[in-house]
């Protein structure tokens, strides 16, 4: 499987590194990257071909990974309009809808349709991401298998049946690491307020979140059951959870995810304009 990346930023680097670790051949991977320094780094680090233009060799691929920023996508794919033939296109650009990408790659009358839309998150940079994927109905089982295999190189994957739900993926897992980092910040601040030095407070906070996540990932119990198991009636945990409930913490987080999803939809509307 020959794969070409349009864009050589952090997520492309994570994907290329993960793919090579999992048996993809460097000689089958190419990157179209405008920045000369980035091209040199990509070639030296991974042994992949890096070019500054979408030349015939770069487009002689089975999969084209769209890995540029959403705001730059329309201009970046303009030179490719009408040039793709049976290439599986995978977009990792947040917010951009398949219909808009297809129109830019083809035309309003005949949009390109063999596209998979993905939303990885930043833990993909260390191979611990979660990616939501949605495929245009024209993508066959082999195309979906190829997309899943590529994105699995940086973590786990879930397939979404309705493209409209991709904004929800963005709200939950795409933006989700920031919520967790913010929680760690608050837990660390709480530790310092209890008299711990910064290093100790940070270790207590990070390792608590890490351990709890590992326990939840490896348990057959739902998170609500795990929470109940560590909450003794009238105990310290119960006191803390009662305070969080009084502050509306649960509903606030649900509303925050909804706000992120709403913004994702709005960005899709804005970026998809002709």
Give the Cβ contact number of residue 37 at 10 Å. Answer: 8
- As a whole number, the mean pLDDT across the chain is 95
How deeply is 65 buried, as exposed, middle or buried, from its count of CB atoms within 10 A (0-12, 13-18, 19+)?
Answer: buried
73 annotated among ligand-binding-site residues = no
241 CB-near residues (< 8 Å, 6+ apart)? 227, 231
**CATH 1.10.3730.10 in the chain, residue ranges:** 173-262
Report the pLDDT value the prediction gives residue 245, as an integer from 0 to 100. 95
Q: Where are the domain boundaries for CATH 3.40.50.720 in the chain?
A: 1-169
**Phi, psi (deg, nearest 5) at residue 50:** -125, 125
132 is in an annotated binding site: no
Burial of 145 (0-12, 13-18, 19+ CB in 10 A): exposed
Render pLDDT for 192-235 as a digit per residue (tens, 0 to 9).
999 999 999 999 999 999 999 999 999 999 999 999 999 999 99
Reported as type and span, the H/E element at residue 167 is helix 166-169
10 annotated as a binding-site residue: yes
Alpha-carbon torsion (137, 143, 147, 149), positive or negative: positive
The domain 173-262 is placed in CATH, from the list 2.60.40.10, 1.10.3730.10, 1.10.3470.10, 3.40.1550.20, at 1.10.3730.10
| Strands 115-119, 88-91: pairing kind | parallel
pLDDT at 83 over 70: yes
- Is position 69 annotated in a ligand binding site? yes
Asked whether residue 119 carries a pLDDT value surpassing 80, the answer given is yes
Question: Which CATH architecture group holds 1-169?
Answer: 3-Layer(aba) Sandwich (3.40)
pLDDT bucket at 272, cuts 50 / 70 / 90: confident
Residue 247 is assigned to a ligand binding site: no
Are 93 and 69 contacting, i.e. CB atoms less than 8 angstroms apart?
yes
Distances (CA, A) of 185 to 26, 66, 96, 144, 198: 39, 33, 31, 38, 11
The share of the chain scoring above pLDDT 70, in percent, equals 100
11 in a known ligand binding site:
yes
Q: What is the pLDDT of residue 274?
A: 66
* Residue 8 annotated as part of some ligand binding site: yes
Predicted TM-score (pTM) of the model is 0.91
**187 labelled ligand-binding:** no
Q: What's the pLDDT at 273?
A: 79
Q: Could you read off the pLDDT of 179-194 as tens digits, one per residue? A: 999 999 999 999 999 9
Q: What is the pLDDT of residues 31-51, one digit of tens each?
A: 999 999 999 999 999 999 999
């Amino acid at each position: 499987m020959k794969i070409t990346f349009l864009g050589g930023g952090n997520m492309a680097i994570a994907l290329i590194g993960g793919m090579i670790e999992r048996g993809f051949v460097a000689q089958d991977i190419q990157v179209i990257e405008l920045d000369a320094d980035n091209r040199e780094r990509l070639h030296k680090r991974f042994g992949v071909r890096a070019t500054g233009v979408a030349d015939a060799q770069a487009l002689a691929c089975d999969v084209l990974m769209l890995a540029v920023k959403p705001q730059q996508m329309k201009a970046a794919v303009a030179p490719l309009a009408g040039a793709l033939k049976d290439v599986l296109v995978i977009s990792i650009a947040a917010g951009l809808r398949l219909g808009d990408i297809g129109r830019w790659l083809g035309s309003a009358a005949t949009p390109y349709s063999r596209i998979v839309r993905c939303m990885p998150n930043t833990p993909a940079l260390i191979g611990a991401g979660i990616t939501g994927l949605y495929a245009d109905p024209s993508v066959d089982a082999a195309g979906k298998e190829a997309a899943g295999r590529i994105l699995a190189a940086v973590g786990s994957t879930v397939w979404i049946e309705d493209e409209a739900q991709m904004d929800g993926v963005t709200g939950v897992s795409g933006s989700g690491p920031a919520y967790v980092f913010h929680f760690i910040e608050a837990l660390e601040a709480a530790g310092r307020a209890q008299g711990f030095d910064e290093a100790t407070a940070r270790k207590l906070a990070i390792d608590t979140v890490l351990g709890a996540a590992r326990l939840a990932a490896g348990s057959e119990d739902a998170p609500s059951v795990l929470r109940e198991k560590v909450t003794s009636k009238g105990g310290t945990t119960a006191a803390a959870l009662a305070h969080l409930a009084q502050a509306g913490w649960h509903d606030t987080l649900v509303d925050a995810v909804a706000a992120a999803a709403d913004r994702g939809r709005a960005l899709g509307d804005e970026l998809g304009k002709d």
